[in-house]
Structure 1
Amino acid sequence: MKKAKEHIDETILLKIIENTADVNERSLFKRWIESSDMHAETFEQLKKLNQLTSIDIFNQQKNWESVLKKVKEEKAIPDYIELPVAQRSTITLQLRTFLRYAAMLLILLGVSFLIKIVVFDSQQLTISGKDMKLHEAYTLADGSKVYLNGNSEISFSKKFGIKERKITLKGEAFFEVQRNEKMPFSITTCKTTTEVLGTSFNVYSELSGKVKVSVVTGVVSFYSGEKENGLKLVAGEQGSYNPDLQKIVKDKNVDMNLLAWKTGILYFNETPITDAFNLLQKQYSRVFVFEPKQGSIPLLTTTFDNQTLEAVLDELNLLLNTKNVCKNDTIFFKSFIK
């Protein structure tokens, strides 16, 4: 049976090379080295590089200081132009020495960079709404909760909540943020940033770059570019960002179905059937088409509370005096006259 590839922290490899690893770290190293031939080859290369130079492959600042120190140990370069041949040879030798160490540094940094990409764990976590149950919340390390809509996803550092609370969003999500006045919570989506200390709000973004932030409780800072140019939004308000105008507009949120995707509840009060069908399409991932035989477009007044698609279709047929026909993912409602 093929072994699953293990991952390991780079500092453990350095400890193994320097013979300073403890029992647990050696056990982790043993599992890692045995999980892939590539790991063994990589480690052998690291050992050889470590034997060739004292440069620390995991510390770029230390690497550079080491190179400068070795260059300075050579004879100083005179600061005049006309030099005897011997002096010119000294400069050539110093230049070659510098280039040799610089080349070694670049090689080591390159190896370290590739190892970080290929071998070690990614420092980012990505959570997708497709992998979550309906109405299920994802709880972050700080206790904040995130509800993801459909194909939406969030990405954040594995160290989230230690020094900062930053998230990148694609799509739509509802946030219930734990208050922390010393560590603001921020969401970046498209070209906007939403920043809070602790509150609840919804963020909706489109591929076109449009973003809408709707606040349920607390205060939210919503901006694009400089924070000072942003807007403060309170409960009941929403901010809309238009990428074409590069401007954020604030207004009142009067949409009763703002969180229908999260709660499963849809309210209709004399709503034009075309508008109602647009909301139903998002809720049930189907295309709703109304085909009237005659007369005006009807208005819909009802409430759907977490009902199945079949139950919704039955009620719509009763209210609209229609019968529906399903073709693939499209549902046609055909009017009939008694």
Structure 2
Amino acid sequence: MKTKEEFLIDPEFIAWVRHPNDHLNDYWSKWMDANSANLRELKLAREILLRTNYQEYKAPAGMKDAIRQKLLTIKPADHPREKKNYRWIINLAAVFLIGLALVWISGVFNKDIVESPVENVVMHHKRTVSGEKLQLTLADGSRVWLNSNSEFSFPDKFGATERRVILKGEAFIEVEKDSLRPFRVVAQGLVTTALGTSFNIKEKGDLGIKISLVTGKVKVENVSTSEDFILRPGEELHRDPITGEKSIRKFDTHTISSWKDGILLFEKSSLDEVVEILENWYGVKINMQNPTKVTWEFSSEYRNQSLENVLKSMGYVQNFEFDIKGKNVTIKF
């Protein structure tokens, strides 16, 4: 097993951390896949290098020659009576001076290590209200689509060992690949970890949480119980809001990601579900008249349509009239 000290004196490792390129990234990515037991030490070494800034020291012109000349002119002191007793001191001093000069000349001290100051992390908080959606590009290049009534917290710069964000509500995330800095989303006591992938998280408070993986692979950890699950593309983790029981099931990718593409989707939705979706999507308040005998299992899809057009289509199928006044909508059965 390779130690962090061995990494720190490995020229290829230092070159990769200091000046990464496609060739080095490909080499070290394959190396990590084949040597997973060394990842912890590798990450520690990388962290040390990233937190350390090297400033090259250049000796003044002529200094090396001056040191050499000085060494050549040094002669033992002429003290015959003390020569026998102190010769070892003179020899030791000469060896020390020569060693120091050679070290300087050889360039071992031609770099001064300066600890880089620890930067304060600035957290950003983005919120959306009903009828509002937001798209973000994070510092690492990852993209986030934030759905209505959601909150997303993230740092201005990610650290050297991980990329951690916090979500309340719903977001679709496309993670930029970085094998050394896992992307972690904290939501409702669960931590979803990814390296380079795309997934959707829908956290609805007392209604539970759903984590749906579209591409790649993620690990979902329960902070309180240390329980974890691995999801593969097309799999969705659902946690029951009452029992806390977790289950993994298949899902339709189009259904999960449609909202970020401007598609309003209903699949056998009840009247209450339709109203909730419309209120969140368009930022309105819907009041219903005489809905007691209405039973819905409504399925339809609308792409970038106005509320009026959607209600006209629904009203034709479900037999109701509607009235829109600003942010207030009345549906009459």
Using the size of structure 2 for normalisation, the TM-score is 0.55
Aligned partner of 1:143 in structure 2 is: 141
* 187-196 vs 235-244, which moves further: 235-244
Indicate the residue corresponding to 1:323 in structure 2: 321
300 and 291 in structure 1: CA distance in 2 versus 1, 3 angstrom threshold:
farther
Residue 205 of structure 2 aligns to a residue whose secondary structure is coil
Question: For each residue in 1:274-306, what CA deviation from the matched residue of structure 2 results, as whole angstroms up to 9, or x when unmatched?
Answer: 443332232223344554589763553432111
**1:314 paired to 2:312:** yes
Instruction: Describe the shift of the 1:134–1:262 C-alpha distance in structure 2 as closer, same or farther (beyond 3 A).
Output: farther
Aligned partner letter, 1:171: G
d(CA) in 1 for partners of 2:183, 2:156: 15
Structure 2 CA distance for partners of 1:275 and 1:245, relative to 1, 3 Å? closer
The alignment partner of 1:282 has SS state of helix
Question: What does 1:257-336 align with in structure 2 at a 5 Å threshold?
Answer: 257-268=255-266, 271-291=269-289, 297-326=295-324, 329-335=327-333
Q: Distance in 2 between matches of 1:255 and 1:196?
A: 18
Residue identity (%): 30
- Classify the secondary structure of the residue corresponding to 1:173: strand
Deviation at 1:247? 3.8
Please state how far the C-alpha of 1:272 moved relative to its aligned partner.
4.3
- 1:280, 1:260 → 2: CA distance? 15
- Shift of residue 308, structure 1, vs aligned partner: 1.2
Aligned counterpart for 2:170 among listed residues 145, 169, 172: 172
**TM superposition score normalised by structure 1:** 0.54
Query: Are residues 304 and 180 of structure 1, via their aligned partners in 2, closer, same or farther at CA, if it must alter by over 3 Å?
Result: same
1:1-338 to structure 2, matched below 5 A, reads 123-130=121-128, 136-208=134-206, 210-225=208-223, 229-242=227-240, 244-254=242-252, 257-268=255-266, 271-291=269-289, 297-326=295-324, 329-335=327-333
Going from structure 1 to structure 2, the CA distance change for 1:224 and 1:281 (only over 3 Å counts) comes to same
SS state of the match for residue 279, structure 2? helix
Q: What is the CA deviation profile of residues 50-108 of structure 1, one whole-angstrom value per residue up to 9, with x for unaligned ones?
A: xxxxxxxxxxxxxxxxxxxxxxxxxxxxxxxxxxxxxxxxxxxxxxxxxxxxxxxxxxx
Higher relative contact order (CA 8 A, sep 6+): 2
Cα distance between partner residues in 1 of 2:206 and 2:297: 31
CA distance in structure 2 between the aligned counterparts of 1:289 and 1:226, rounded to whole angstroms: 41
Q: Take 1:152 and 1:245, find their aligned partners in 2: how far apart are those partners?
A: 24
Any conservation in 2 of the 1:212–1:241 contact (CA below 8 Å)?
yes
Verify the 8 A CA contact 1:223 1:248 in the aligned structure 2: no
Deviation at 1:217, TM superposition (A): 1.1
Per the TM alignment, residue 196 of structure 1 is displaced from its structure 2 partner at its CA by 0.7
**Which residue identity does 2:210 align to in structure 1?**
K
Give the distance between the partners of 2:253 and 2:285, measured in 1 at CA.
21
Q: Tell me the matched-pair count.
A: 214
Cα distance change of structure 1 residues 152 and 296 upon mapping to structure 2, 3 Å threshold: closer
2: CA distance, partners of 1:273 / 1:130: 24
Post-superposition shift, 1:173? 1.3
Residues 179-237 of structure 1 show CA distances to partners (whole Å, capped at 9, x for unaligned) of 12222111112211000111101112233383221111111111203796211111221
Q: Indicate if the aligned counterparts of 1:128 and 1:151 stay in contact, CA closer than 8 A.
A: no
> Structure 1 CA distance, aligned partners of 2:265 and 2:210?
21
What letter matches 2:304 in structure 1?
N
Greater displacement, 308-317 / 216-225: 308-317
Paired with 2:128 and 2:288, the residues of 1 have a C-alpha distance of 29
Asked if the contact 2:148/2:280 (under 8 Å) is kept, the reply is: no
Letter in 2 for 1:138: L
Unaligned regions of 5+ residues in structure 1, if any? Answer: 1-120
8 Å CA contact retained: 1:277, 1:288 = yes
CA distance in 1, matches of 2:274, 2:200: 21
Taking the aligned partners of 2:267 and 2:211, their CA distance within structure 1 comes to: 24
State the structure with more CA Rg.
2
